[in-house]
Structure 1
Amino acid sequence: MPIIDKLYSNSNLTGEEYSKILRTTTRQAQMRELLNTVKSGGSAVKSALYKALKEYEPYLIQDLKGSFSQAENVKQLNESHHQKVGTEELQNGTERRKNDIIRWNQSSVKYRSKIEELQKDSSRKRVGNIYFSRSNNYKIGSGGTGTVYVGLKEDGTEVAIKRIIKDQQESKYFENELKHLQDLNLESKNIVRYVDLAEDEDFYYLALQLCEYDMEEYRKNLHKEEQKEKALRRIVKEILLGLKVLHRAGVIHRDIKPGNVLIGIKNSFIKVMLHFVFKVTYKLCNILSTDSGKIARPADFGLSRKLEEGRSTVHTARAGTIGWEATEILNQDAGYKQSSDIQVCQISLYNVIRKS
């Protein structure tokens, strides 16, 4: 991460600390190591981190400067609420049930009311570390490989839960998608993030980063013409950056379309950093990143395939969605290339821009 490199180049991290952070295998693990280092490094390291944030995340810092008073008010309200809840629990003399939702780190605006309902819904269930309900009230998507519900992880993370039935065909798509989601070469802010996995007797439950919109829905929510132009330019760049991550890892998506490009809140790393290091509340961190921190990401890798070493083409039966296919795919002998993704990406973007 650029922030880590910046701290090291300015001698705010020792070589040993820098190496220890980079030895971790995931972005989340790097974040934990950096947080521990910064928290124990004193005011000088915190100051250096703040300067690095100003350089790489300036819009967050600009909002932050005028918002500490709001953070303090939110903190006081939270403390008052927790004291009240604690008193009520003692008075009732009851223990929390196993499937009670204890934490919720709010990020989503679109699905906030649904998650609030989920917290109170007695029909919800818990599988592994995931809370959700099969009620259609919480259904947020569906496709050829499963139904998607809004839910929560035990640690409070908001998630989109893809439910996949355990049969031979669907399990094949699921295993393929999971393989790509867990590939460290695809861990990027430009790719929808894998969060967790659970299963019961009949279904797999794949927990993914919760995003606000797909590309088509996002376009409909852009009202001002200047806002549309700026946002659509950004979306073009971000989708291509996502495809660049896939293609560098030798992966062909094979099902690019507006419904498989999701728009979600970014900078969860920065929000956690602000919370733990500068004592800014989670609620304020979410306020700071909601409007300015959305990013377009390719999603749904059930049909994706990895190129064999030294090859540029994948030959399989015809896949993808009719109407969203590259011209060479119509000739079934041509096979799938990385250029196939690029061409369908262009079609998707043209479709969205033409309707704007």
Structure 2
Amino acid sequence: MDIDEDLKESGAHADNSTVKPFPSSSDELNSLKWHKVSVRWSPQLDKLSNIDPQKISRLGTLNLVVHPDFQIAKGSDGTEVFLGLKDDGTEVAVKRMLKSNYQVLKNEEEFLRLPQLDSTWIVRYVDFAEDENFGYLVLQLCEYSLDEYIKDHLPEDKMPVLKKIVLDVLSSLSVLHSQNTKILHRDIKPKNVLIDVTGRARLADFGISRQLNMGQTTLHTNTAGTKCWKATETLVEGSAFGYKRSTDIQVAGMLIYYILSAGEHPFGKGFHCEHNIFKGKYTLEHIDDEVAKDLVEWMINKDPDKRPTVEETLAHPYFWTEDRRTEYMQRIGNLEEAENCRSADPELLKRLDHLADGKSFSNWKSKMPAELIQKLDGKKKPYPENTLGLMRFLRNLHEHYPGDRVDVMTMFPDLFGCVFKFAKMQEWNSRSTLRTFFQRVDIRT
């Protein structure tokens, strides 16, 4: 079937006032204006910009061709997404849905038009149109869904890219969950995160989102979302439940694990996935970073009251710079327990040694420059070769010999994760000298 026949069947040239064939006067037979931005969709957009004008449908200032050659996505609810060009040359994605079932599309339009959602982490609203049969939501054109990007388009050095995507996703959620917005997304999943041409992740698809009223913290509603991407409390039998921002947080935690593991789910796949979510049975075996595991585990907690807010996730040590991590360990080295490392409580040392067993910083003195060991050990009784001794050594090295630098993060890549995990276990992080490290800092770019 050619493009002309498809268009006749689709009703793209319906006899109404909003959808019109492209003008055919001699002055307007030139190609459509096109500002080239997309890399992935460039071949199709080139074809669209130069297609026979009689085959183009116009909706206001939008030009599109409803044909498989220009379809870029299809939803389970009957939504179809096509490439389009605005009269000014802007590349767009056009979501089309039958008017008999397009309240979801109108709902999404209402949310995306809110000034609060005009953000670099949210897919951008462009326009909305309708004809006799369909509604059309016109959006910023992105390159890939997160699902596609992770499976087929990651660079060789993937971890920094994946970490940036995690930060983008949480930043988008912070836009929704802020006190002046209070939007519950309710359908967080890989296909609803889009990657734009710059590589930034943007949250999309607000068709079943809801907004809390002023002073409201819970929305009582029927269950929503996608199989295997629902929070524990939404799987309870019954017609309605209390949906909170913490409900989004748990699903976002599943998504973060999916990102960092390049496609795995913490609660497994297939038939058992939702059963595992309900029971709180998960695995974090597909990621190695202990700090990342701590963040995910916190977010996917079965108990909604024990999950973090999105602001707390953005202040998590997983996102700290190396300088901030180094400063944190120096503060640990200044605690009374580290200061007394030579006569520390045996039970404390036993717990710490168990956590540090087999790590890169075991026998740390043999891996340090000998002259530094001699310099600091010579001042008083030698530092014990356990983790508390290392923390005190690093603190004193920084305080008394600032010119003698040691790249401890490279030398001992698993040290920070171990120290943070132990400090959390001992509740040291709630002390005044460490508590400020866990307040939100401006880490977004």
TM-score calculated relative to the size of structure 2:
0.50
| Residue aligning to 1:343 | 250
| Residue aligning to 1:327 | 232
Code of the aligned partner of 2:129: A
One of 131, 135, 142 as aligned partner of 1:200: 131
Code of the aligned partner of 1:129: T
Inter-partner Cα distance in structure 1 for 2:44 and 2:85: 11
Inter-partner Cα distance in structure 2 for 1:321 and 1:121: 38
One of 86, 91, 99 as aligned partner of 1:153: 86
Inter-partner Cα distance in structure 2 for 1:224 and 1:154: 35
Inter-partner Cα distance in structure 1 for 2:59 and 2:163: 40
| Residue aligning to 2:69 | 137
Inter-partner Cα distance in structure 2 for 1:121 and 1:317: 46
One of 205, 220, 234 as aligned partner of 1:300: 205
SS in 2 for 1:150: strand
Inter-partner Cα distance in structure 2 for 1:124 and 1:136: 14
**Contact 1:239-1:296 within 8 A present in 2 as well:** yes
| Residue aligning to 1:174 | 105
Code of the aligned partner of 1:254: R
Structure 1: tracts of 5 or more residues without a match: 1-92, 266-292
Aligned residues: 232
1:188 maps onto 2:119 in alignment = yes
**Contact 1:166-1:202 within 8 A present in 2 as well:** yes
**Contact 1:256-1:345 within 8 A present in 2 as well:** yes
Q: Which has the larger radius of gyration?
A: 2
Structure 2: tracts of 5 or more residues without a match: 1-24, 264-445
TM-score calculated relative to the size of structure 1:
0.62
Question: Structure 2 vs 1, CA of residues 105 and 347 (structure 1 numbering), >3 Å: closer, same or farther?
Answer: same
One of 168, 190, 205 as aligned partner of 1:258: 190
SS in 1 for 2:224: coil
CA distances 1:29-50 after superposition (whole Å, capped 9, x unpaired) = xxxxxxxxxxxxxxxxxxxxxx
Question: Deviation of residue 186 (structure 1)?
Answer: 1.0
Inter-partner Cα distance in structure 2 for 1:340 and 1:173: 21
SS in 2 for 1:301: coil
Question: Structure 2 vs 1, CA of residues 355 and 130 (structure 1 numbering), >3 Å: closer, same or farther?
Answer: same
Code of the aligned partner of 2:233: E
Question: Deviation of residue 223 (structure 1)?
Answer: 4.7
| Residue aligning to 2:21 | none
**Contact 2:166-2:259 within 8 A present in 1 as well:** no
Inter-partner Cα distance in structure 1 for 2:140 and 2:26: 33
Inter-partner Cα distance in structure 2 for 1:310 and 1:180: 19
Code of the aligned partner of 1:210: L
The one of the two structures with greater contact order (alpha-carbon pairs below 8 A, sep at least 6) is: 1
Question: Deviation of residue 305 (structure 1)?
Answer: 0.1
Question: Structure 2 vs 1, CA of residues 223 and 195 (structure 1 numbering), >3 Å: closer, same or farther?
Answer: closer
Inter-partner Cα distance in structure 1 for 2:35 and 2:156: 33
Superposition pairs of residues 202-241 of structure 1, within 5 angstroms? 202-226=133-157, 228-241=158-171
**Contact 1:129-1:198 within 8 A present in 2 as well:** no
**Contact 1:197-1:207 within 8 A present in 2 as well:** yes
SS in 2 for 1:113: helix
Question: Structure 2 vs 1, CA of residues 194 and 145 (structure 1 numbering), >3 Å: closer, same or farther?
Answer: farther
- CA-based RMSD of the aligned residues comes to 1.7
Code of the aligned partner of 2:252: C
Question: Structure 2 vs 1, CA of residues 354 and 295 (structure 1 numbering), >3 Å: closer, same or farther?
Answer: same
| Residue aligning to 2:42 | 112
One of 119, 124, 149 as aligned partner of 2:56: 124
111-120 or 340-349, which deviates more? 340-349
Question: Deviation of residue 310 (structure 1)?
Answer: 1.1
